[in-house]
C-alpha cells in the first residue's frame, strides 16, 4: 500500500470510439459514496481539463481521431503526473479512456528522465496500433506505440495525411523524451484480443504476455515473482496500467469501451494490484475505461473496479 497517494482524474474520453467513459470516473466515485468508502473523500485530488466538447464535431484526422485535442490532454496529464512525482507522491490516475496513459508515462519520464521505466499493462488489448495500422483510428488503441515510439510501417495500411503525421509526431514527443520505455520492459497481463499488426510487434520485440490461461497455468504468485525478479528486474521504476476490459466481460459486465470475454477474474486482479502496490518500484497506477453507458448490469463495472481498488489499497 502506498500512503502518499494523489488522485488525478482525467475525464477525457476523446481517444475512445464510443462515448461514456468520462462518466466512468463519476460512476466510481458515486459507488464509493454509496458504499461508505472514504478513500476518495480523504485523498488529495486534482482534475485534468477534459476537451470532450470537441467530440460534437467530427475529427479531421481519420486515422487518429481528435489527435489535435489529445496533444493538449497529454501535455496536461504529463505535467500533472510529473509534479505529483516531484513532490514524492504517488499518482493514482483515474481516466476515461486509455489514451490517457501515454500522457501519464510522459509525465513519469519527465520526472525521472534517467531512470529505466517498466510498464505492466493489464488489458484485453495490446494498445500497440499507430495511425498507420489502426483499423478504427481510435487513439485509445495507440498509447504504447506513443510510449515506445513505434509506427509499425511494415504493416502500413492507412492512408495517413500530412497533418495527422505531424500531430502524431507531436503526441509521441510530449514530455520531451522518446522513446519513454523499451518494448522489452513491457509486460502484458490479460491481453487476448489483438490484430496481426500488433502480434507482429509483440513477437518482434519479445513482449511477454500473461494471457488469462497462462496466468492460471503458472499461478498468480509465480507470475508476480517472474515479473519482479526476472522480466522487470533491471527497471528502476514501474508504471501499472489497469484497463478494466482485462476483466472477463461475461463474469463482470460489458461496462467498458471494448469488452472481451474469457478474461481475468476479479480475484486475480485484486491479488495482482495489491502485490504491485506493495512493490517499491511501482510509482504510479492508472485505472481506466469504465463505461457505465455500455454496462449490461447497471453499474457493475464501476462497482467491481471499486471493490478491486479498495482491496488493493488496503494493506
156: which DSSP letter? -
* Nearest alpha carbon to residue 97 among 73, 131, 129: 73
Name the CA dihedral angle for 239, 3, 96, 172, rounded to a multiple of 10 degrees: -30
Which is closer to Mn ion, CB of 68 or CB of 127? 127
- The Cα 48–Cα 10 span in angstroms is 5
Which is closer to Mn ion, CB of 6 or CB of 194? 194
**Count of other CB atoms within 10 angstroms of residue 149:** 16
Q: How far is the CB of 166 from Mn ion (least distance, A)?
A: 25
Which is closer to Mn ion, CB of 167 or CB of 243? 243
Q: How far is CA 283 from the centre of its chain?
A: 14
| Helix (H/G/I), strand (E/B), else coil: 238 | strand
Q: How far is the CB of 97 from Mn ion (least distance, A)?
A: 8
- The Cα 96–Cα 106 span in angstroms is 17
Q: How far is the CB of 261 from Mn ion (least distance, A)?
A: 16
User: Which residues of this chain interact with Mn ion, rule CB under 5 A?
Assistant: 98, 123, 125, 127, 243
Is residue 77 a contact partner of residue 8, using CB atoms and an 8 Å limit?
Answer: yes
Which is closer to Mn ion, CB of 65 or CB of 125? 125
- The Cα 149–Cα 169 span in angstroms is 9
Q: How far is the CB of 16 from Mn ion (least distance, A)?
A: 10
What are the grid coordinates assigned to 206, written together?
519479445
Is residue 147 a contact partner of residue 166, using CB atoms and an 8 Å limit?
Answer: no
> Residue 20 — left, alpha, or beta (φ > 0 → left; ψ -120 to 50 → alpha)?
left
Which is closer to Mn ion, CB of 37 or CB of 285? 285
**Count of other CB atoms within 10 angstroms of residue 256:** 31
Is residue 95 a contact partner of residue 10, using CB atoms and an 8 Å limit?
Answer: yes
What are the grid coordinates assigned to 95, written together?
481516466
Q: How far is the CB of 289 from Mn ion (least distance, A)?
A: 6
Q: How far is the CB of 113 from Mn ion (least distance, A)?
A: 25
Which is closer to Mn ion, CB of 31 or CB of 243? 243
Which is closer to Mn ion, CB of 37 or CB of 291? 291
Q: Please, which residues have CB within 8 angstroms of residue 260's CB and are 6 or more apart in sequence?
A: 124, 125, 192, 193, 245, 249
Q: How far is the CB of 288 from Mn ion (least distance, A)?
A: 7
Q: How far is the CB of 123 from Mn ion (least distance, A)?
A: 4
Which is closer to Mn ion, CB of 37 or CB of 207? 207
229: which DSSP letter? I
Amino acid at each position: 500500500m502506498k500512503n502518499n497517494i494523489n488522485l488525478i482524474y482525467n475525464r477525457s474520453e476523446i481517444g475512445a470510439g464510443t462515448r461514456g467513459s468520462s462518466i466512468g470516473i463519476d460512476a466510481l466515485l458515486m459507488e464509493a459514496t454509496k458504499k461508505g468508502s472514504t478513500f476518495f473523500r480523504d485523498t488529495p485530488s486534482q482534475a485534468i481539463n477534459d476537451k470532450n466538447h470537441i467530440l460534437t464535431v467530427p475529427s479531421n484526422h481519420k486515422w487518429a481521431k481528435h489527435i489535435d485535442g489529445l496533444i493538449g490532454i497529454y501535455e496536461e496529464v504529463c505535467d500533472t503526473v510529473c509534479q505529483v512525482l516531484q513532490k514524492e507522491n504517488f499518482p493514482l490516475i483515474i481516466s476515461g479512456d486509455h489514451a490517457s496513459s501515454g500522457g501519464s508515462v510522459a509525465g513519469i519520464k519527465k520526472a525521472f528522465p534517467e531512470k529505466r521505466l517498466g510498464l505492466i499493462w493489464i488489458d484485453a488489448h495490446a494498445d500497440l496500433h499507430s495511425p498507420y495500422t489502426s483499423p478504427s483510428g481510435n487513439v485509445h488503441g495507440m498509447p504504447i506505440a506513443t510510449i515506445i515510439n513505434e509506427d509499425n510501417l511494415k504493416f502500413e495500411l492507412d492512408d495517413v495525411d500530412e497533418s495527422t503525421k505531424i500531430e502524431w509526431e507531436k503526441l509521441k514527443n510530449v514530455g520531451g523524451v522518446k522513446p519513454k520505455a523499451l518494448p522489452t520492459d513491457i509486460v502484458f497481463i490479460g491481453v487476448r484480443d489483438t490484430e496481426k499488426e500488433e502480434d507482429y510487434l509483440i513477437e518482434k520485440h519479445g513482449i511477454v504476455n500473461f494471457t488469462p490461461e497462462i496466468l492460471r497455468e503458472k499461478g498468480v504468485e509465480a507470475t508476480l515473482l517472474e515479473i519482479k525478479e526476472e522480466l522487470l528486474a533491471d527497471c528502476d521504476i514501474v508504471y501499472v496500467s489497469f484497463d478494466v476490459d482485462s476483466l472477463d466481460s461475461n463474469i463482470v459486465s460489458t461496462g467498458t469501451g471494448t469488452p472481451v470475454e474469457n478474461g481475468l477474474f476479479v480475484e486475480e486482479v485484486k491479488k495482482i494490484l495489491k502485490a504491485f502496490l506493495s512493490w517499491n518500484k511501482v510509482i504510479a497506477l492508472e485505472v481506466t475505461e469504465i463505461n457505465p453507458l455500455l454496462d449490461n448490469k447497471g453499474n457493475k463495472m464501476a462497482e467491481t473496479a471499486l471493490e478491486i481498488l479498495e482491496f488493493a489499497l488496503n494493506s
